[in-house]
Structure 1
Amino acid sequence: MKDKLQVLSGAMMIPVILLVVAGVFIGLGSAFANMENVSALGLSGLIQEGSFINVFFKVINDLGFMVMRYLPIFFVTGISFGLSKKEKGWGALGGVVLFIGMHTVINTLLSAHGISSDTVTAEAFMKSGLSEVEAYSRSSLYGSFLGIFSYDCSIFGAIIAGFVASTIHNKFVDTELPSALSFFSGPRSSMIMMFIAAIVLGTTMYFIWPPVGLALSKLGNWIGSSGLLGTFTFGAMDKALLPFGIHHLIAFPIEYTRVGGTMEVGGAIYEGVNNIRLAQMGDPDTLSYITRNFTTGRLLIHFAILPAAALAMYKLSDNVNKKKAMSILIPAIVTAMLVGVTEPIEYTFLFVAPLLYFVVYVPLAGLTYVFTEMFNVSIMGESFRNMFPNLLQPQKVDALPLLFLIPIFFVVTYVIFTWAIKKFDIKTPGRSSEEVKLYSKKEYRERQSGESVKAIANDAGEDKDTELVYSIIEGLGGSGNIKNITNCATRLRVELNSIDGFYEDGFWVNELGASGVVRKKNSVQVIFGPRVITIASKIKVVLGVD
């Protein structure tokens, strides 16, 4: 079950990439499409209302909002693509067919029961006797997508449809039919099944979505009313689930669905804190970003807690090992600051001192979210890669509290980590005669189960030639041993025919520059960081798979 959740978690990151691009387009476009922003930037003489430059940036802005408008389609496409084991293009098409078919069936059933867009307004529900709160909650269950009046399942519906579509596709993709029907053999047979599945899924959703949707609204209301307790719980759980590879499953609903709340921005309703902030970025009337966004706390993790932990490790390393410790800690911290990838250093103290991770680091992570919310920090992005929009619309940003929050969290973390490392003689990088190294997720799990552990060295080398690709294939036991290969934001995920052909961890880390390795029966995960997307793409080209 956990393996399936990890695969689903990785697949959900595929469409999230579009949101990163959309954020850049909205940030850039709204800055120069809105004449008030243009005037604030002192560019009124260069950019006039209706000029070519102004219209160009309006196009850029609208393209960014296009992603927001059709987000469910992108999610069902990305998830069904990511979860399909072969013929991924057909799998993605099947996801779209099933998703639209599901809404078509729901629309037909609603119409058959006399339910239309006119009968589900808040006013109509209040006339029927519901309270205002109940009426608006009930009305929020309905919506229109691609011109189809249906339930507003949004991204939840897309996830369900993508998962179901990929399951059907994987089951029927190799189906062989009699010669008279051979045209529909193979992946085409899965398309037939999508239409049948649309009837089943649409009918099922027709009955189960109202209670599910209302439950999600109540959960969102609880999160909204739980105050700092809910904020702390989210921040702590986000890091506590990291070792299990399913932390996206708690962050995703908050960031992209109604669980994270809804807000009207520019006359349209947006769900999820990330979608709301992107909409605010493109709205000229928005004065500041929402402060309860469940992401700003990561700024303190990337710029205060992890650098302080790294400094404590460096300071307490043996003198003879200080240069080596610095050479592996600095790249890990720079990576966290630049792109938000934190696994290399987090897994190091997770392995050498699990209590340090769960008893100290996890609560500290939860507190970062609490304090940024308490001091009303409103800013886009949690690492340098996605902070660019702040430079173009500084009037929407309130980041001054970070000037004292970052130093405070840095000092507190440094003191706690220094004390803990000394008190319990924790063998952080450079504190023993052994090789100076970072540790992987796989080693942490081996330590927990009592198995022997091999130390691995960190290498931040980049993929610059095809030799790396062929070395990876060799390390996986050859092309014939590879059953399926996918990736998430940082990990190469591979299903093997046999784990026996998989090379030892030292090969992956010392020779290929991976940060760590995770094994689970015949499934492996190799942590390469953000460059894994390029690596996976090149491997698929060599293997001749999509």
Structure 2
Amino acid sequence: MNKGKLNIQAKFQQFAGAMMIPIIVLVVCGLTMGIASPLANFIFTKGTVLWKVARLFMKIASLIIRNLSLWFVIGVTFGLSKKNKGYAALAGIFMLMSVNTVISNLASFDGITQATLNVEWLMENMAMSADKAIVYTKMYTNVLGIFTYDLSIFGAIISGIVVAWMMNKWGDTKLPNALAFFAGPKFIIMLVPVFAVGLGFVLYHVWPVISAGIQTLAIFIGNAGLFGTFVYGCVDRALLPFGMHHLVTMPLRYTELGGTMLVDGVMVSGTKNIEIALTGSPTATHYLIRNFTSGRLLINLGGWPGAAFAMYVTAKKENRKKMLALIIPAVFTATFVGVTEPIEFTTLFASPLLYYLVHVPLSGLAFVLAEATKVSIQGFAVIFMLPNILQPAKVQALSLLYLVPIYFALYFIVFRWAILKFNLKTPGRGDSDVKFVTKKEYRNSRENGPKDGIVAFHDAVIEAFGGRNNIVSVENCATRLRVTVKDDAVVAEQNAWLDDLEALGYVKNGLNYQIIYGPKVTNISADIKEALDIN
């Protein structure tokens, strides 16, 4: 039973990692819109060359946000496929468009087209009440030029999961010589129309029920107010150690679960989508208040610096100078780029109770305070603050001037008390220090190959996992290297990862490992995959 539970958790972790792949496109979207929109709307004169250039960048950002399903089907299919990832991504797009085509045609068989979809027609021909007809019209939209159900990112996720399953199951299928051209990953693309008809048929009849459920959940979240915000903040941090917090954040950011808003005559769903729309709007007076991100500013700019200072003052005096070399980078990454894993996992390793009974509820409270004081600001770290400078009229954040110092003091007092009261082995307090970063560094000799006893970093990581023959799969999300092994007995212990292999954190669930490396994990993962010949 435990093994089955760990396998299910590993699959959820892999899925959460796949959901993070399209995020890079969405980050580009936010930054592009944040910089270009004030230039086009308020600074450059309409019709000038500079205004036209700014408008082009705004249109690119709008293109990204209008086609979310495309980026998510690529990311999910690519992330969940264990082989032939390029073919899988291609098949994922094919599946998404095929499924939407099936839904569109099934609707037309029932007389529902873009021309007939209106309240009057539905009341007259489908015997719907006015209220039911209004709700029904909102179920349809255009996806990549196809009139179909508004499945949001859910249609892309479902299509991606199905194609990834197909690729993992039949991606190496062999056919007779006469049909060899269609063997392997091409066989999956041949199967897409068959599965698309079945999947489209099921979704056409089931989605109205699912859509009603989503609307009910969205109404609950909306009506829950600050309590719902508190629950979100707690769950987000509570799931972080398991790598599954993205499963909570993504639906809120990119579907109607995060709310809807009419921006310049266009109905927008999802907190991130609304925030980008408000950024690009020349009439909006402020950014989104209930954005489920502003609370992180209290933690990143106030809480974690306070906790780090508490760790510094409670360290042994002879270790404090060395502590600065550890604390300053950890605080910098938290405040400047919003990567908090180094200090969060240090807290978790030192005391799970301190993490879950103090940090988690205080995180929830931070989101509540930001929303209650009507903070409307873009970004949760310094690097994402540029749009605020360009559109200061949309920023409402005076409460941060006192909330951030309060959180600094709160974390400092609580962490200092807990460290001393329970003798927690935070950095600098034990004989063997708990570290944010490694002491040793492996030199990367990839270009010239290993020599003079120097081992390429990715080779050292492979060996730490028990060698290439012990590794089943290698994936990564934004900050974590996710590896599944055959035998965990030959994998290096936690201290080896933290002390010798530059890891910022370490999570083990059975045969599934998550090694936290921060933003550089993408390069590490690519090097390992190349060394293992994993495409």
Partner Cα distance (1:310, 1:4) in 2: 34
Q: Secondary structure at the match of 1:75?
A: helix
Give 1:196's aligned residue: 194
Report the CA distance between 1:4 and its aligned residue.
0.5
Give the distance between the partners of 1:342 and 1:522, measured in 2 at CA. Answer: 25
2:34 maps to 1:27: yes
TM-score normalised per structure 2? 0.92
Maintained 8 Å contact 1:241/1:247: yes
CA contact (8 A) 2:425 2:434 kept: no
**Which residue is 1:403 aligned to?**
401
Amino acid in structure 2 at the alignment position of 1:346 = E
Q: Give me the TM-score of the superposition, normalised by structure 1.
A: 0.90
Structure 1 residues 226, 426: closer, same or farther in 2, change over 3 A? same
- Cα deviations by residue, 1:83-114 (Å, 9 ceiling, x for unpaired): 11111000101111111111111111111112
Shift of 1:460: 9.7
Q: In the TM superposition, what is the alpha-carbon distance from 1:428 to its structure 2 partner? A: 2.3
Structure 1 portions without partners, runs of 5+: 39-46, 440-456
CA pair 514-184 structure 1, distance change in 2 beyond 3 A: same
> Which position in structure 2 is the counterpart of 1:137?
135
Letter in 2 for 1:169: M
CA separation in 2, counterparts of 1:126 and 1:238? 43
| Kept in 2: contact 1:459–1:515 (CA 8 A) | no
Deviation at 1:136, TM superposition (A): 4.0
2:73 counterpart (76, 83, 90): 76
Q: 1:280 to 1:459 in 2, by over 3 A?
A: farther
Q: CA deviation at 1:341?
A: 1.3
Q: Is the 8 A contact 2:13 2:244 kept in 1?
A: yes
- Gap runs ≥5 in structure 2: 1-7, 447-455
* Secondary structure class of the residue paired with 2:518: coil
Q: What residue identity is the alignment partner of 1:206?
A: Y
- The answer to whether 1:152 aligns with 2:150 is yes
State the AA in 1 paired with 2:268: Y
CA–CA separation in structure 1 for the residues paired with 2:63 and 2:440: 36
Partner of 1:508: 497
Paired with 1:464 and 1:382, the residues of 2 have a C-alpha distance of 33
CA deviation after TM superposition for structure 1 residue 489, in Å = 0.5
- Correspondence for 2:9 among 2, 15, 20: 2
- Which range is displaced more, 327-336 or 15-24? 327-336
Q: Choose from 230, 233, 250 the match for 2:231.
A: 233
Counting only pairs closer than 5 Å after superposition, residues 310-389 of structure 1 correspond to structure 2 as 310-389=308-387
Q: CA deviation at 1:135?
A: 4.6
Q: 1:422 aligns with which of 400, 408, 420?
A: 420
SS in 2 for 1:494: strand
Partner of 1:444: none
Once the two structures are superposed, residues 395-424 of structure 1 have per-residue CA deviations (whole angstroms, 9 ceiling, x without a partner) of 111121111111112222222222222333
Pair 1:493 & 2:482 matched: yes
Matches within 5 A, 1:52-201: 52-121=49-118, 130=129, 132=131, 134-201=132-199
CA contact (8 A) 1:495 1:523 kept: yes
Q: Which runs of structure 2 are paired with 1:276-315 in the superposition (5 Å)?
A: 276-315=274-313
Shift of 1:3: 0.6
Secondary structure at the counterpart of residue 268 of structure 2: strand
> Once structures 1 and 2 are overlaid, which stretch shifts more, 188-197 or 408-417?
408-417
Q: Which residue of 2 aligns with 1:451?
A: none
Identity %: 43
Q: Is the 8 A contact 1:437 1:458 kept in 2?
A: no
Secondary structure (helix, strand or coil) at the match of 2:435 reads coil
Distance 2:398 2:183 in 1: 62
Local SS of the residue matching 2:387 = helix
Separation of aligned partners in 2, 1:300 and 1:153: 35
* Partner residue in 1 for 2:23: 16
* Displacement of 1:130: 3.6
Q: Aligned partner of 2:407: which letter? A: F
Residues 517-532 of structure 1 mapped to structure 2, 5 A cutoff: 517-532=506-521
Give the length in aligned residue pairs.
517
Give secondary structure in 2 for the equivalent of 1:68: helix
Partners of 2:372 and 2:181 lie apart in 1 by 62
Residue of structure 1 in register with 2:453 after alignment: none
Describe the shift of the 1:243–1:69 C-alpha distance in structure 2 as closer, same or farther (beyond 3 A). same
Pairing 1:400-479 to 2, within 5 Å after superposition: 400-432=398-430, 434-438=431-435, 458=438, 466=446, 467-479=456-468
**Alpha carbons of structure 1 residues 184 and 55: separation in structure 2 relative to 1, 3 Å:** same
- Tell me the SS of whatever aligns to 1:226: helix
Equivalent in the alignment of 1:453:
none
Seen in structure 2, the aligned counterparts of structure 1 residues 51 and 165 have a Cα distance that, compared at 3 Å, is same
Deviation at 1:393, TM superposition (A): 1.1
